[in-house]
Structure 1
Amino acid sequence: MNHFSYLTEQLASAQKPPMLVFFILSLLVIIFTSSHVNGQETTDDKLKQVKQAISKQKTNIKKVDSKRQKLVNQLKHDELEIAKASKALNTTNKSLTATQQTITKLAKEKKELTSEQKRQEDILAKQLRAAYSTGHHDYLKLLLNQEDSGKVQRTISYYQYLNKARIKEITNYQQTIEKIIDVTNEQQQQAQQLEQLQQQQQQQKLALEKSSRQRKQTVTELNQQLLNSKQQLEKLLAEEANLTEALERIARLSKQEVNLNGLGKLKRQLSWPVKGRISRSFGSRKQDYLKWKGVLLSAPIGREVKTIHNGTILFSDWLKGYGLVTVVDHGKGYMSLYGHNQALLKSVGDRVETGEPIALVGQSGGQSQPALYFEIRHNGQAVNPKLWCR
């Protein structure tokens, strides 16, 4: 094999790492310039140097790619840990809210029962005073009194009425006391639960902060692995191809539900999955000739992401370049995709209704700012979400 054939093959095999191509071309210029200037050094010697330099450059590129892949794997691990902690924290916060509402409700109920208790005590006091004021009458005298039997009967009936009223009020009073005791006990249990939830919340916050610090360090290291324009384009193309392949795969595996009617008749009728500013529009330039196939919605981290329409969860996992992604099947070939989430709240196979929370806004996938990446696809082709959401 002659020298030019060898160099041509090396150049062809180096198309993926552009820096290697540039390096080889530079060496070629040096070789042939030098060979004209200094005829004492043979081309074979120069070729040997080129081979050694190419081999060294390939080794360096391989090391860089290997390090970058390790960092990507570490990023995935960090973001999954963040998802785990934030999902648990979200659940705990909801439990805290529910518990606080229960405590408020119990306090109101206890206040009403205490007020009822006082009212019953007042009634019983009045009844006791009434009984005391007529207490000098002797039942036996009344029964032996033959002068006015009608009056005796009326008096006895009155006593019986008072006794029944007192018994009823005493029973009600006892029931009120029992309810107050029950409410007080439940208040104590709820207070203990609230304390436990608060401790749990604090632990989850610490875990989330730890994972977030680790992720920040990983992202910093990844950003230090600078890519030129062509490498950046190739990276984005690979990530997009990976997403497309994943969507095609889950579309093949999914079972179409006959009760899902798609989005065809819902143009301009759907709400956006999260309240936020559109920072990247559908069809705008992403890198070189690559364009955005969805929209990027800037929103605070942790804000709930809601499904635009009812459907079934087809995908719920981490994807390189897109972070934590969930995909909803709406039927009739329509899908919606939600990426860069902090946590995913639903699992594959879950049925979701319109407006139901399915994720939390994040910055997974190596993003520097929190945002939601949102796509709508029909039969595998990305369509402009603005045609459906308002």
Structure 2
Amino acid sequence: MTALRASALCTGVFLCLLTFSTSANSQLEGVSDEIARQQSQLAAHNKKLNHLQRDLKAQATRIETLSKRIRSAQSALGDTEAEIETLTKKQARLQQEMIGQQALLADLLDAQYRQGQHDQLQRLLSGDDIAQLDRLTRYAETLAQSRQAAIESLAATRTEYQLTAHQLKQQRDKQSALVAELQEKKRDLESEQNAQSQTAKKIRAQIASDSAYLAELNANKQRLQEEIAAAARRATVKMAGIANAKGKLTWPVKGTLLHRFGERQSGQVSWNGVVIGAKRGTEVKAAHAGKVVLSSWLRGYGLLIAVDHGKGDMTLYGYNQALLKDVGDTVTAGEPIALVGDSGGQSTPSLYFEIRRKGNTTNPLPWLD
């Protein structure tokens, strides 16, 4: 009887253990499935985010190309308009010269006509003094020479006037073509900017949660750190740095200070530089003389340019619409190096400006003039 009870007890315990084991396995499988689901969602999220970032980069590149073409066309248009103004003034001057030359020629013709009414033969027969006749002869010759010179000058002025009129027409035709080109490029640019804005909105929606935004910020900062370190290793800039320029650096752009150094971005991540709001297309100027060591698109910072000033000092300029300098270019303080934009997924046109000294970020504001 005792053995029977013991057997029954063991069977019950075994069944309980079996039930518990089955339940535990079921829960473990459920957890594994949830983990797999979340990993799949995360992979899909990252894939979509990476795809959107590639679209953003491609759009930024097209916008940069259009911006540079517009800038070039605007410069050519300015030169053309200056040439038109010069030619217009020249044409007016030539017009006045022709009026004066025509009046002079008319006076010479009148004088020659009046002098011809009393020819030398008539004077000789009248018994006038021979010396007087010689003077009149020389006067007639001078008058004829002056008339011929006046005719030649008028002809030359007329030729120059016609040439100027032709040049003026050419410049005005060029002006019309440039204006049409500008209008077309600006329409294309506006279309690309709208597309970029839509892509940026989708990216912000993808990283709407605090954790996703924080992860993106940290990844972007890490990418920037790696790019700058690589650029610094490649660079051989023999300049004095900015140690003696504190409080004297040129403001890269004038505008509204949107974010300050050290201000919280998200979680424990703070701004390593300042963000200055300014009109799209405004020239970004080098804060100090140096050499361009980085000029490319970087996720989170858009079109970014970095200038090495020597002695481990570097300034960074991000969110640009276009980069005007290439790696290896030497720049002076105040020289335009980029154009303000909203590349990198920004919601408003602005400039990201950062100062690094021996790899460490520092507050830019005390360094600016």
Question: TM-score normalised to the size of structure 1?
Answer: 0.84
* 1:249 to 2:230 alignment: yes
Query: Which structure would you say has the larger Rg?
Result: 2
Mean CA deviation greater in 307-316 or 61-70 = 307-316
Q: Tell me what 1:51 maps to.
A: 32
Alignment of 1:170-181 (within 5 A): 170-181=151-162
Structure 1: how far apart are the matches of 2:363 and 2:343? Answer: 23
Mean CA deviation greater in 59-68 or 165-174 = 165-174
Structure 1: how far apart are the matches of 2:67 and 2:270? Answer: 32
- RMSD (CA atoms): 2.1
Q: How far apart are 1:361 and its partner, in Å?
A: 0.5
Evaluate the alpha carbon distance shift between residue 53 and residue 291 of structure 1 in structure 2; reply closer, same or farther with a 3 A threshold: closer
Q: Tell me what 1:275 maps to.
A: 254
Contact 2:306/2:316 (8 A) holds in 1: yes
Q: Tell me what 1:13 maps to.
A: none
Structure 1: how far apart are the matches of 2:219 and 2:37? Answer: 26
Evaluate the alpha carbon distance shift between residue 256 and residue 177 of structure 1 in structure 2; reply closer, same or farther with a 3 A threshold: same
Q: Tell me what 1:310 maps to.
A: 289
* 1:85 to 2:49 alignment: no
User: Which structure 2 residue ranges, 5 or more long, are not aligned?
Assistant: 1-15
The number of residues matched between the two structures is 352
Structure 1: how far apart are the matches of 2:151 and 2:310? Answer: 64
Alignment counterpart, residue 132 of structure 2, candidates 151, 155, 164: 151
User: Which structure 1 residue ranges, 5 or more long, are not aligned?
Assistant: 1-34
Structure 1: how far apart are the matches of 2:199 and 2:300? Answer: 14
Evaluate the alpha carbon distance shift between residue 252 and residue 140 of structure 1 in structure 2; reply closer, same or farther with a 3 A threshold: farther
Alignment counterpart, residue 303 of structure 2, candidates 324, 328, 353: 324
Give 3-state SS (helix, strand or coil) of 1:194's partner.
Answer: helix
Structure 2: how far apart are the matches of 1:375 and 1:224? Answer: 27
Structure 2: how far apart are the matches of 1:336 and 1:122? Answer: 67
1:175-229, Cα deviation, whole Å (9 max, x unpaired):
2112211111111111111122122112212221221222122122212214432
Alignment counterpart, residue 45 of structure 2, candidates 64, 70, 91: 64
* 1:356 to 2:361 alignment: no
Alignment counterpart, residue 284 of structure 1, candidates 263, 284, 295: 263
Q: Tell me what 1:215 maps to.
A: 196
Q: How far apart are 1:146 and its partner, in Å?
A: 7.7
Q: How far apart are 1:142 and its partner, in Å?
A: 6.0
Q: Tell me what 1:27 maps to.
A: none
- One-letter amino acid of the counterpart of residue 222, structure 1: I
* 1:389 to 2:363 alignment: no
Evaluate the alpha carbon distance shift between residue 289 and residue 176 of structure 1 in structure 2; reply closer, same or farther with a 3 A threshold: same
Q: How far apart are 1:319 and its partner, in Å?
A: 0.3
Q: How far apart are 1:271 and its partner, in Å?
A: 2.4
Q: Percent identity?
A: 36
Q: Tell me what 1:296 maps to.
A: 275
Question: TM-score normalised to the size of structure 2?
Answer: 0.89
Q: How far apart are 1:41 and its partner, in Å?
A: 5.8
